[in-house]
Amino acid sequence: MNKIGIINCYNESRECSSFGCFKAFNDREASFKNYDCNSEIICFAHCNGCSENSVNQVLDRARIMKKKGVDTIHLSTCIKLKCSLYNKIIESLGNEIDIVGYSHDVE
Ligand code: SF4
């Protein structure tokens, strides 16, 4: 049983319902395919937008999620596809918590 958090891209979140992330989780597809039926998404948040502090701000958000009980954070597929800081975010968060680099498949 896992407690999952998702962090998505602020820019994309302004026009996104998060349907793809939740559908993938509820159907145990794509990045969520190995979770058991008792696993839960307990946190979902976007980054704070593009700035020179973006990586640290995402790390701060991840730390808050960890304090709330999250054991695994998925970066959203929009971060993977759109964010130039993707690798830096993975590296930074990966030092402190289990990190998965995407959420749903691209259709
Ligand atoms: S820093 Fe990356 S994830 Fe955040 S709004 Fe900008 S492009 Fe999106």
Distance (Å) of CA 13 to CA 9, 33, 34: 6, 24, 26
Ligand 1, atom 8: closest residue by C-alpha: 9
Q: How far is CA 71 from CA 40, 53, 94, in A?
A: 11, 24, 12
From 8, 21, 85, mutation site for ligand 1 pocket: most ligand atoms within 8 A of C-beta: 85
Per-residue pLDDT of the chain (107 residues; tens, 9 = 90+): 999 999 999 999 999 999 999 999 999 999 999 999 999 999 999 999 999 999 999 999 999 999 999 999 999 999 999 999 999 999 999 999 999 999 999 97
16 CB near ligand 1 (under 6 Å): no
Nearest CA owner, ligand 1 atom 3: 9
